[in-house]
Amino acid sequence: MWKVLALPYLWLAVFFGLPFLLVAKLSLSHTALAIPPYAPQLDLSRGLSGLAAFVRALSFETYARLGSDRLYLAAYLSSLRFAALATGLLLLIGYPMAYGMSRFGAGARRLLVLAVILPFWTSFLIRIYAWIAILKPAGLLNQALALLHLPPLTLLDSDAGVLIGLVYAYLPFMVLPLYAVLERHDESLVEAALDLGCTRTSAFWRVTLPMSLPGVLAGALLCFIPMVGEFVIPDLLGGSRTLMLGKTLWTEFFANRDWPAASAVAIALLATLALPMALVQRQQARLAGETQA
Partner 1 sequence: MSAPPPAAPLVRFEAVGKRFGDVVAADGVDLELAEGEFFALLGPSGCGKTTLMRMLAGFERPDAGRILLNGADIAGLPPHRRPSSMMFQTYALFPHLTVEQNVGFGLKQQGWDKARAAARVEAMLALVRLEGLNRRRPHQLSGGQKQRVALARALAVEPRIVLLDEPLAALDRKLREETQLELKAIQRATRVTFMIVTHDQDEAMGVADRMAVMQAGRIAQVGAPREVYERPANRFVAEFIGEANLFPAKDTGDGADFTLVRPERMTIAAEASPGAIPGRVAEVAYFGDRTRYVVKTDAGKPLLVSQAAGQAPLSLQPGDPAFVSWPKNAEVKVPA
Per CB under 8 A, residues contacting partner 1 are 186, 188-189, 191-199, 202, 206-207, 210-211, 213, 290, 293
Closer residue to partner 1, CB minimum distance, 148 or 290: 290
Question: Which residue, 43 or 191, has its beta carbon nearer to partner 1?
Answer: 191
**Smallest gap, in angstroms, from Cβ of residue 203 to partner 1?**
8
CB 133 within 8 A of CB 139: yes
Q: CB of 190: closest distance to partner 1 in angstroms? A: 9
Distance of closest approach, residue 290 Cβ to partner 1, in angstroms? 6
* Minimum CB distance to partner 1, residue 201 (Å): 11
Q: Least distance in Å: CB of 224 to partner 1? A: 23
Angle at 14 between CA 13 and CA 17, to 5 degrees: 50
User: Judged by CB, which is closer to partner 1: 43, or 186?
Assistant: 186
DSSP assignment string, the chain: -HHHHHHHHHHHIIIIIHHHHHHHHHHTSEE-SSSSSEEPPP-GGGHHHHHHHHHHH--SHHHHHHHH-HHHHHHHHHHHHHHHHHHHHHHHHHHHHHHHHHHS-HHHHHHHHHHHHGGGGS-HHHHHHHHHHHHSTTSHHHHHHHHTT------TTSHHHHHHHHHHHHHHHHHHHHHHHHHT--HHHHHHHHHTT--HHHHIIIIIHHHHHHHHHHHHHHHHHHHHT--HHHHHHS-TT---HHHHHHIIIIIS--HHHHHHHHHHHHHHHHHHHHHHHHHHHHHHHHHH-
Least distance between partner 1 and beta carbon 218 (Å): 16
Among 209, 218, 207, CA closest to 176? 218
Q: Of 194 and 273, which has the nearer Cβ to partner 1?
A: 194
Helix-helix angle 124-135:159-183, to 10 degrees? 130
Q: Which one, 123 or 290, has the nearer CB to partner 1?
A: 290
Nearer to partner 1, 4 or 293 (CB): 293
Considering beta carbons, is residue 123 or 201 the nearer one to partner 1? 201
Closer to partner 1 at the Cβ: 106 or 293?
293
Rounded least distance, CB 189 to partner 1, Å: 5
Q: How far is the CB of 210 from partner 1 (least distance, A)?
A: 5
